[in-house]
Amino acid sequence: MIQEATIDRVLDRLERGTEDYETEIRDFAESQPELMDYLTNEDTEAFTEEERALLMFAALVIYQSVDDERAGIPVAGGEEIAQAEEHNYEIFGRSKASSFRDRLTPFFEDSEEEELLAFVEDLVLADEEEEDSISGEAREPFFATLKTVVDVLT
């Protein structure tokens, strides 16, 4: 399991801007081209510009956290990504919970990556008054997309 300390370290490094963010994104895209295609495909065009930027930032945090703790992350393929995404939407589809937070519980029950999921949950459930919050209608696809990233990288 990826440790919270690793996630915090990656967040701090990216937020401090010690590395060129565009270079970081380019390195991520070169290492995981099909995953980058997935994150920038037409499905993400439904997100606002701010949501797309946050999605890319969060995916980079996930990628770098996994990369920091594990040597040699396998390159995610399109079929693997599609299967993971479909599985995640099936979990949402089976949920009968009324609150969004409760709808996320099954994802935590079946995952060894609780810290990465908690990071994604915090992003998705941030106060809507905050500058970089996710709109109500974007929460499910935003979470499903980042959960898919976690699945294929771990």
Residues 31-52: pLDDT tens digits? Answer: 999 999 999 998 788 899 999 9
Cα separation, 138 vs 110, in Å, equals 23
Q: Is the pLDDT of residue 145 over 60?
A: yes
User: How much is the average pLDDT of 83-92?
Assistant: 96
Cα separation, 69 vs 136, in Å, equals 33
Cα separation, 20 vs 44, in Å, equals 24
Give the structural domain span for 34: 4-153
User: How much is the average pLDDT of 111-117?
Assistant: 94
Q: Is the pLDDT of residue 87 over 90?
A: yes
Q: Is the pLDDT of residue 129 over 60?
A: no
Q: What pTM does this model have?
A: 0.93
The answer to whether the beta carbons of residues 86 and 151 sit under 8 Å apart is no
Q: How many domains does the chain have?
A: 1
pLDDT in the model for residue 60: 97
Q: Quick one: 87 exposed, middle or buried, by C-beta within 10 A (0-12, 13-18, 19+)?
A: middle
Report how far Cα 133 is from the mean position of its chain's Cα atoms: 15
